Structure 1
Amino acid sequence: MKVSGHAAAPSGAWDAVRAAVQREDAAATAAVVARLTDEERREVARELPGLLATLRSFGHGRAGARSIWSADENLGWSEAMRVAGAGTIAGAAAVVTWLNGRDFRRFWNDPDDVPHILQVVAARPPEWQADLAVRLALRLRGTEPGRSRAVRLVLELLRRTGAEPPEHDPLTLAWIDAWPADPGDAPLLDAMLPRVFASEGVGRLLRGDEERPARLAALAASGRVSRALLLDGCLSRFLRGGTAADLRFFVRLHEALAPSAAEVAERRRDYAALLPAAPANVADLALRRLRAVGGLEPEEAREAVEGLLFRAEGKLVRAGLIWLDRLLRDHPGDLDGYAPALATALMCEAGEARERAARLVLGYAARFTPDGAAAIRDAVALMPPGEGVALAEAFGGDAVPAAPESRFASPPLPPAPEPTPMPVPVATPAELLRLWPFRGDWLPAERWLDGFVRLAAGDRPALTGALATTAGRFRTRDYWRRPWWDTEPWIMAMAKELSDPGVERRTANAVLAGDRPAAVEERIPEAGHAKPSLRMPLRRYAEVYQALTDGALPPYLLATPTHVSGRLDAAVLVERLEGYERDGMEPLPVDLEQALLRLSRTAPGEVAERAARLTGAAGRAVARLLSGERVEPRVELRWKEGSHGPRITPVLSWDSPGITVLDGQMTSAGSEEMLDQLLPVLPAHREVAAAFAVHAMQSYGPYSKLESDALTALATAEGPAGPSVGCLAAHHLCRHPEEAVPLLLDLAASGGLGEETGRQLAALLRDDATRWEYRCYSPVEVLRALEELARSGAHREVWGVMTGLLAAYLPGPGERATSTHTRMMTLAADVAGWAGARGALEPVAELAGRSRVTGLVREARRLHATLTA
């Protein structure tokens, strides 16, 4: 928006600058400012604050925006003002304050004014420009995107002036983020590259970068950058510590450099210092380099091995033991100096490492003096039950005996939770007036429609009088409006029809044919534009309104649920249909469809017999459902990689005659449905409702929050549980393992937990293994929750989960086994015994048959023995 109205300026220079700013023309402003004399610059600088105040007072800033979406509409002058200030304000510090002023900040895209600012500051003295560059660099905050104009201005000023970049972590991060594809083309490379290894946050920023390590190594090979700088930088970064993820880039760079034996030997103390406490990926790197170079002094080798034996990772402890075996063979005299490290290895968390350590200690038992043997003896007492018996015989002491096998006493699985009954029906017009439904609040809408139909049949004059004010609010032009997005216009139209029967028909007949009102069905939102949970109630309201205008309103509705979950007891529906047949009433089609979708899957035998005696089409449909003749929907979850992680698209297929609730959405559950809104429409088909919930959950971020109420709702709903219910259960288990057990226990009691849950859990665990930065739980917590769930009475259901989990998560050919796999197999072996499971599982049998004994293989053999007993 162009502005005008500022008071006359004291000179032509100011007039020219002001005119360019008012035209919102940054380029013209730069051209004018670049030609100013020193005196004219000072004059313009004095006037700028006044113009800024004027712009604000005219409401052309952010405060004048109608919303955040239009917040930038009135800031077209901001770039011109930034340019004017940069070229005229005297002090570099004041220019920095001006450029970072909040009045110039945009919510959305920042127009590129960097070339114009560079043009106007080019006339300043070199020392002034260098001072400005440094001060602007120090004003960077956080991880400023490398493409932002603030960063581009800083980097270009530093490059042009040759000023020494300040040691400021946000500057380093911004410089890295602005890296070109080839780091050799990056400005300020020589000055900034060393800071990559010293600044906080670099590892997190570069953790996913797999290309630049090789390119930096190529620059070192060409002599463009110092190879020693890169190698020493990696080692210094490793020695400073950090998580495995944050050091991943530097590990890749180190491996791309492929240090020679001479380079490793020169730095062998640094490599050895990494063995005791560095993250596993760094310690593994250091171990490989040290073992390849050889030639360590005996004391250096001993320190390196001891550093490995004190670690928690079984793989590194085993590597240390193999190395130690060679050292012990070559070591003269007693081995007491190695006893503390060996004692630690005997208590390692990894069972295979403990076994190897025990064999090693027994093999060299004769070379320990009483002092060394005492350290071993102390460790034996702390070893797991049954593992230290042979060592106790050799060294003395008391080993913990193997624990007797305890039988699991299974508590009963609690009964499935029952939904709360519906409130009593609306009995009076006054009560109906107090029950005004709002969009998305299905229960009041359901009760209002039921109350309206009953009162219209039982006391229409009283209902008409009570709704007179509501009828007066209806506008005749609303007959032409389409669609009606909530229940309010339908309620007002019903009230209008009660107070003035036939009013819509007379209105339609009074206008020209080409300008007739929308038909009732045209006022219902189209299937592709409205969620099923919104559209189904509106279809029912429209149907009741049409029946009212046609004089065919039934005395009561069929689909009104008996429970707040949406469930409709079979006995109640059969009784309603019996009344319809006695009175010769035909069901309203949509009302009947909703009743069938809500019909409970459990019914006493006598209710099914009564249903079989019904003679109408509706009665026969109910009888078929109660006899088990159902066409179940089929749901498939398709995982697809997206820009922000995986996307899960549910694909639905339901070939059931008369089911129209998902018309237009049968191929993909693509609407943003919430489970608590859709389940009342589909309380007997929880898998379909869950499919929409999976899509909605993914739409708000790959790992968005699933409320605990969702699992409670699924537990009180009915119907088979497939991949969608399994996905929601697995999602909750992963995100909230500490609170999942009671909720999953209810779901298990309702038949909603099983093998499909395990398959979906495997998919989430595998995905999170590659996107660990989003993980807010550990797999150990998940397994602990599953164990607690099994011990709470759901051991058979948890065994079903474990069968799906093992089949989909155990390492395949070429994949590395981890401690998570071992823990998972241990839990599966325990739960299989509790559940009395039988029948071999192929992936477990394959692992059990391997010749190399690891903790995973040992537990697989235990599970296989249970399943094949």
Structure 2
Amino acid sequence: MSDDLISAVRNGNHHAVPPLVLELDRAGRRAALAELKELRKEARDWEWQRQDRIRKALLVAGAGCHTGAAGCATWIGGRDLRSWSRSPYPLILVALGDRDPVWLGDLAHRLAGRAMDSEAEFTFISELARMAGCPIPTTDSVVEGWSDRISSARWNGRSGNRVPLIGILRSDPHVAVLAPRLFELPELPSQVGWYDTPDSSDHWPAALCALAEEGVLDRSQLAERCVTRLVRGGKNGDQRFFLAVLQQLHLTEDEERSHLRDWMGMAADAISVVASHAQDVLTRLDARGELSTRDLAEVSGSVLFRREKKLVRGQLILLGKVLSRDAGTAGELLPVVAEVFGNEDTALQERALKLIARHLPADDTPLREELSFAAARLGPLHRETVSALFGTAGEEAPADGPYEELLPPVPVLSRLDPAPQTVAELVEEVAAQVKSRSSWQGSTPGALAAASGVSAFERTLDGLVRVARTERAELAEALQEALAGAWLIEHGIDRRPEPAYVTTSDALALVVGSLLGRISEKDVTWGKERWTGTGSCPHAALNGVLLARAWEAAGAVRSGGVPFLLATPTWHTGSLDAAELVERLRTYQRLGVAPGAADFSQALLRVRRSGASGAAEAAAALGTPQGDRLAAWIRADEPMVPVLRHGLADDRPSAGNWWQRSASGVRHVLLATKERPLIQQEFPRSFHWLGRAHVPSTRECYHWGAEQCSHWIATLPEDGETLAAWLMPDLLRNADEGPRGGAWFLPPLMEAGGEAGVAVHLALAYGLGSRHPEDRISAVDALLVVAAQGRLDTALLGRELGVLVDHDLVKVNRLADSARTAAATGAYRTVLGVLAAALPTLLAYEKAPRGIGDLLAVAAECAEQCGTEGIEPIAGLAGTAGRKGASQTVRQAARLSKAFKE
């Protein structure tokens, strides 16, 4: 009988497997299982089409033949037995039909502890629990699978109409047990947390509350769990979900009072929308006399430190009501109000100052002195009011000595460590990078992460070439063992890797595959001699250079004739010392080794040309073609390709409003690059894209949102201006609708050599206006690096910011946030210089764009801190300051104008 079963499995006849399993006794199943395990091992070396044919049958047969629940669960969870087609779980249930209920319950709980890939797995576990007569497991994976099944059931398969959620939940047998567990998951399933509007009647918050009203779910339990999750914090979407449920439960006055400390915690630390709700509850508690002065002072001390202006205003209003109602609370509450003097918003400072002036007791000298000391933090804008309220005691003491700009230290070049010299060290490096799928990962990597990634990769690549030449057999054996099961080594090496997505780990896998014989010599020859891809975008072109080097290194480790690589960088940025490259060429000459075309070309692109005249002479003295090329490359000292200016600053649309300007003007501000014929003539074809003329395109690129690659910067580490121009479309998209992390390359780009011209400054401008806060922080870091290097042209950056705003490519409120962040580091004069050049464009609009008041406030703060010496008067500032009204824009313009006059 076991032969029939094995035959059915080999033929992929999964429907015939369950009855054949049921006909076997315990001993027969064990014997069959041993054969099935051997067949599973054998199948791992088959092509995927042949593997896929037997997967279902193998899965069903192995599950049915296991006599222990633990082994059965492990077999069912095997990744290599998964298939994209319909799940065979119903057949497994049939094959397990003769098992003891306790055994089935054990299996259900073991499977429930594993992660699930589909709702079919939930259905399988729930059926096992039904057959076992036991409660369904309530693990996180089961709850997530249940929510998947509920969401799928919302769409009627026949009519295509959407079925009401509340009806599905009412009829579900597990809702009373599993629905409350949603509130205990680390993160909500996406299909649960998403809804059109919080009060929609056909989404999870309303449905759960309806079930609570009907008694299906415990209402008080839901309320408690919502409060617990809101206090704990978490993803914004999850927090909004729990808040929506809580609001629709309509807590009673007793329930609100019982959670007083929780509301205080939410108001202090929760996301804005949750904090606002908590603030409303605290206001109701105060109106009912259930919020003590001490509690109000405690929570206000936290809320008034928050950045959200609405929350700070709301708390000041609440404090004002309490002070008006009970003057005796002034001694405890007014010092808390004075904390607002440290807020960056001058309007809030003024509101707090007025509140103190209104309720300050005339006979409380200690309190007056305490508040006078706090008022010293206020700037010149409030000096008259402070003097009138506290006298000269409230004035800030003059600063000692001249103003000093605080900038970060200039980044220091860090030399790469030598390549791994021993087999053990090299294998460890290779395994770490290949198994991680890239040499570094992260949505928003910074300069340090990028530098670490390229350094590790380059050292490891060079180490493979070096060690393969001297200890090839030992290295191959060690790599074979260390990388057993690694996807890139076992399955991911193709004869022609796709350059569009190639990463440094792909490049290492290609070289290792050649060393281990996984790639034929014919394929390696093809890769070295015929790889001519040049890419359709800068990302693909830069990846193509990496791939050309990888094919060349794959040939080097196979032949063992290359002592080391020429292009291995000297420093963490990817740059290569010219004298060091000369010495490497001299060693090649002495050994009679011909440099690889891709390796030598990459070395040229990396060599540091400035101050290398002596190296140029030494290179020419070698008397080799490569030495002559290196000498000529150093002496020319030209950028990779010339970058063309956009010329839009002097060609602005004539409409008066900013949206009309952007509609009638050029929508995209990008930079074209000229041709560099030398690249076409002397470099391998895989480098030719780099030397062609390019007009930037805003068409969607398949690299947008893909994994970022540190080797992009390290390919041209001495040509930051060129890289900035080529990668500009990424930054444009990042400022509009791109995903998080799009400005990752700005900090390492600022460490690249070459001129810091219009492309570098335009890249900074886009980064400062990025959509996501973390990308704006990356841009601020890059700005401070360039300023510390002395390469920042504040006037040029300011003009570029004005151009981008003028064409509706960045938002002023985002620029204000970036400027505020940069100024907070102590770089007041740098920020003021940039804003002084950007503001004339923005102040010229008939209707000011949103956020201009915040930008003026940052500029005014900078001017008050560092003075305006050396800064040209800002055109249009006086006219804005002289307008009627008391808007933020007018007030801050007057403040800045006053700073220029003092």
TM bin (shorter chain)? 0.5 to 0.7
Confirm whether residue 50 of structure 1 aligns to residue 34 of structure 2: yes
Asked if the contact 1:755/1:801 (under 8 Å) is kept, the reply is yes
Identity of paired residues, percent? 16
Deviations 1:806-858 (A, max 9, x none): 899xx98788999x99667634775783551422468x98799685677x876
Confirm whether residue 216 of structure 1 aligns to residue 216 of structure 2: no
Aligned equivalents of 2:801, 2:826: Cα separation in 1 = 14
Aligned equivalents of 1:752, 1:396: Cα separation in 2 = 41
Give 1:758 shift: 4.9
Flag the structure with larger Rg.
Answer: 1
Aligned equivalents of 2:225, 2:43: Cα separation in 1 = 49
Aligned equivalents of 1:140, 1:562: Cα separation in 2 = 50
Partner residue in 2 for 1:618:
none
Aligned equivalents of 1:526, 1:562: Cα separation in 2 = 18
Partner residue in 2 for 1:741:
784
Residue 784 of structure 2 aligns to a residue whose secondary structure is helix
Aligned equivalents of 1:235, 1:849: Cα separation in 2 = 53
Give 1:180 shift: 0.6
Deviations 1:338-373 (A, max 9, x none): 63233222223436555444434443444x986xx7
Partner residue in 2 for 1:584:
none
Aligned equivalents of 2:850, 2:729: Cα separation in 1 = 36
Match among 288, 291, 301 for residue 297 of structure 1: 288
Deviations 1:759-793 (A, max 9, x none): 799999989999xxxxxxx99898554565846x8
Deviations 1:221-273 (A, max 9, x none): 7558659856863553334555765354343454477548x744242215643
Partner residue in 2 for 1:168:
139
Partner residue in 2 for 1:15:
3
| 1:779/1:48 CA distance change after superposition, 3 Å | farther
Matched to 2:125, the amino acid is V
Matched to 1:309, the amino acid is S
Which aligned pairs between 1:38-187 and structure 2 lie closer than 5 A?
40-55=24-39, 59-62=41-44, 64=45, 74=51, 77-100=54-77, 102=78, 104-105=79-80, 109=84, 112-124=87-99, 128-137=103-112, 139-141=113-115, 144-145=116-117, 147=118, 150-155=121-126, 157-158=128-129, 163-176=134-147, 179-180=150-151, 182=154, 183-184=165-166, 185=168
Which aligned pairs between 1:457-496 and structure 2 lie closer than 5 A?
none
Give 1:196 shift: 1.7
Aligned equivalents of 2:801, 2:126: Cα separation in 1 = 51
Aligned equivalents of 1:834, 1:599: Cα separation in 2 = 37
Residue 18 of structure 2 aligns to a residue whose secondary structure is helix
Aligned equivalents of 1:161, 1:394: Cα separation in 2 = 82
CA RMSD of aligned residues (A): 6.5
| 1:828/1:173 CA distance change after superposition, 3 Å | farther
Partner residue in 1 for 2:625:
none
Partner residue in 1 for 2:328:
335
Residue 873 of structure 2 aligns to a residue whose secondary structure is coil
| Structure 2 portions without partners, runs of 5+ | 155-164, 414-456, 459-495, 500-528, 549-602, 617-628, 649-666, 681-687, 704-708
Asked if the contact 1:633/1:652 (under 8 Å) is kept, the reply is yes
How many residues end up aligned between the 2 structures?
650
| 1:222/1:21 CA distance change after superposition, 3 Å | same
Asked if the contact 1:318/1:353 (under 8 Å) is kept, the reply is yes
| 1:866/1:220 CA distance change after superposition, 3 Å | same
Give 1:864 shift: 4.6
Partner residue in 1 for 2:177:
191
Asked if the contact 1:527/1:665 (under 8 Å) is kept, the reply is no
Confirm whether residue 833 of structure 1 aligns to residue 868 of structure 2: yes
Match among 241, 265, 276 for residue 277 of structure 1: 265
Give 1:191 shift: 1.6
Aligned equivalents of 1:411, 1:307: Cα separation in 2 = 36
| 1:409/1:674 CA distance change after superposition, 3 Å | same
Give 1:284 shift: 0.8
Asked if the contact 1:30/1:83 (under 8 Å) is kept, the reply is yes
Which aligned pairs between 1:581-600 and structure 2 lie closer than 5 A?
600=638
Partner residue in 2 for 1:677:
715
Asked if the contact 1:21/1:77 (under 8 Å) is kept, the reply is yes
Partner residue in 2 for 1:510:
none
Partner residue in 2 for 1:322:
317
| 1:110/1:786 CA distance change after superposition, 3 Å | farther
| 1:116/1:764 CA distance change after superposition, 3 Å | farther
Deviations 1:157-179 (A, max 9, x none): 45776743444344434444555
Partner residue in 2 for 1:246:
235
Asked if the contact 2:108/2:128 (under 8 Å) is kept, the reply is yes
Aligned equivalents of 1:533, 1:752: Cα separation in 2 = 35
Confirm whether residue 233 of structure 1 aligns to residue 222 of structure 2: yes
Which aligned pairs between 1:587-626 and structure 2 lie closer than 5 A?
600=638
Aligned equivalents of 2:348, 2:739: Cα separation in 1 = 44
Which aligned pairs between 1:621-636 and structure 2 lie closer than 5 A?
632=644, 634=646
Give 1:700 shift: 12
Residue 202 of structure 1 aligns to a residue whose secondary structure is coil
Matched to 1:60, the amino acid is E
Matched to 1:16, the amino acid is D
Matched to 1:133, the amino acid is A
Aligned equivalents of 2:83, 2:732: Cα separation in 1 = 28
Match among 354, 363, 368 for residue 358 of structure 2: 363
Which aligned pairs between 1:820-859 and structure 2 lie closer than 5 A?
826-827=861-862, 833=868, 835-840=870-875, 859=892
Confirm whether residue 754 of structure 1 aligns to residue 754 of structure 2: no
Which aligned pairs between 1:523-542 and structure 2 lie closer than 5 A?
525=532, 531=541
Matched to 1:674, the amino acid is W
Aligned equivalents of 1:340, 1:307: Cα separation in 2 = 10
Asked if the contact 2:794/2:834 (under 8 Å) is kept, the reply is no
| 1:198/1:44 CA distance change after superposition, 3 Å | same
Aligned equivalents of 2:849, 2:245: Cα separation in 1 = 26
Aligned equivalents of 1:299, 1:728: Cα separation in 2 = 48
Aligned equivalents of 1:74, 1:848: Cα separation in 2 = 78
Give 1:283 shift: 2.5
Asked if the contact 2:63/2:72 (under 8 Å) is kept, the reply is yes
Partner residue in 1 for 2:661:
none
| Structure 1 portions without partners, runs of 5+ | 1-11, 420-439, 442-481, 486-521, 539-559, 574-590, 602-624, 637-647, 771-777
Residue 791 of structure 2 aligns to a residue whose secondary structure is helix
Confirm whether residue 862 of structure 1 aligns to residue 898 of structure 2: no
| 1:720/1:695 CA distance change after superposition, 3 Å | closer
TM-score of the superposed pair, with normalisation by structure 2? 0.55
Matched to 2:644, the amino acid is E
Give 1:686 shift: 6.1
| 1:392/1:179 CA distance change after superposition, 3 Å | same
Partner residue in 1 for 2:745:
706
Give 1:285 shift: 0.8
Matched to 1:531, the amino acid is A
Aligned equivalents of 2:866, 2:82: Cα separation in 1 = 55
Match among 359, 373, 392 for residue 381 of structure 1: 373
Give 1:744 shift: 4.4
Which aligned pairs between 1:436-475 and structure 2 lie closer than 5 A?
none
Asked if the contact 1:343/1:379 (under 8 Å) is kept, the reply is yes
Give 1:50 shift: 1.2
Asked if the contact 1:151/1:174 (under 8 Å) is kept, the reply is yes
Asked if the contact 1:737/1:781 (under 8 Å) is kept, the reply is yes
Deviations 1:455-513 (A, max 9, x none): xxxxxxxxxxxxxxxxxxxxxxxxxxx9xx9xxxxxxxxxxxxxxxxxxxxxxxxxxxx
Higher relative contact order (CA 8 A, sep 6+): 2
Aligned equivalents of 1:386, 1:218: Cα separation in 2 = 48
Asked if the contact 1:112/1:149 (under 8 Å) is kept, the reply is yes
Aligned equivalents of 1:263, 1:418: Cα separation in 2 = 59
Matched to 1:191, the amino acid is V
Deviations 1:559-613 (A, max 9, x none): x99994568999xx9xxxxxxxxxxxxxxxxx9xx99997759xxxxxxxxxxxx
Partner residue in 2 for 1:723:
762
Aligned equivalents of 1:111, 1:192: Cα separation in 2 = 26
Aligned equivalents of 1:360, 1:318: Cα separation in 2 = 12
| 1:175/1:394 CA distance change after superposition, 3 Å | farther
Asked if the contact 1:758/1:804 (under 8 Å) is kept, the reply is no
Asked if the contact 2:243/2:274 (under 8 Å) is kept, the reply is no
Partner residue in 2 for 1:455:
none
